[in-house]
Amino acid sequence: MIVLDKIRKVFNQGMPNELVAVHGAALDLGSARFIVLKGPSGSGKTTLLSIVGCMTRPTSGRIILDSREISGLPERFLTKIRRETFGFIFQQFNLIRGVTALENVMVPAYPRGEKYSLLRDRAMALLELFNISRKAASRAEWLSGGEAQRVVIARALINNPSIIIADEPTAHLDTGLSHEFMEIMGRLHQEGKMIIIASHDPIVYESGLADMLVGMRDGRIESVRDLA
């Protein structure tokens, strides 16, 4: 369960270039929902997503995760919550170059100190699940866009997160791969994961998978449509 309480984010506060990216967003995101965040470029989608995912702290306001206020926690607690709760999928895949697909999937799990062979087996199983295990030994930069996307999804799942956060995940995918991506998200949602995607791609928000559509404009939540 995630609740946003009057979340405000100001960049460069007190400077001539001060910018309010999010103006007091208040929203109950519920649990295990499939949420699509829509809105024009610059409306604050990425900023809000990174606040929800504990990657950025709000300037003011509170985030409540499973009845616990997390906004004020010290960094090391936030890091732990981030690692155990969220899986991230970004527009730029952010795979580490020079490192194999398999190792890339394993990276987010390293801080947990699991036995290497067990972790490797889990990473391999995820690559198999997404039908990409034949590329396990390929370096990240050798993968095609669609292959890289599947590796990124596997990486997002390695710590078995309950919430998947994706920012413009289809921006670099063709139509077929975009539909495939949404199918995978639909499957993960059916398995009980919460999905939060920011996108202005109709393939994402017209997929029929979202049960909540949140519209943003100028840093404000302009509309909330509950489709459940």
Ligand X SMILES: Nc1ncnc2c1ncn2[C@@H]1O[C@H](COP(=O)(O)OP(=O)(O)OP(=O)(O)O)[C@@H](O)[C@H]1O
Print the binding letters for residues 34-63 with ligand X: x by CB under 6 A, - otherwise: -----x-xxxxxxx----------------
- Complex with Mg ion: residue 38 or 45, whichever CB lies closer: 45
Q: How many CA atoms lie within 13 A of 83 on its CB side?
A: 14
Q: What's the min distance (Å) between Cβ of 225 and ligand X?
A: 18
**Is 46 an interacting residue with respect to Mg ion (CB under 5 A)?**
yes
- Complex with ligand X: residue 158 or 221, whichever CB lies closer: 221
**Is 222 an interacting residue with respect to ligand X (CB under 6 A)?**
no
**Is 170 an interacting residue with respect to ligand X (CB under 6 A)?**
no
Q: Which does 149 bind (CB under 5 to 8 A by kind): Mg ion, ligand X, none?
A: none
Supply the DSSP string of 148-199, one letter for each residue: HHHHHHHHHHTT--SEEEEESTTTTS-HHHHHHHHHHHHHHHHTT-EEEEE-
Phi, psi of 161 (to 5 degrees): -70, 155
**Is 100 an interacting residue with respect to Mg ion (CB under 5 A)?**
no
Q: What residues make contact with Mg ion under the rule CB under 5 A?
A: 45-46
Q: What residues make contact with ligand X under the rule CB under 6 A?
A: 11-12, 19, 21, 39, 41-47
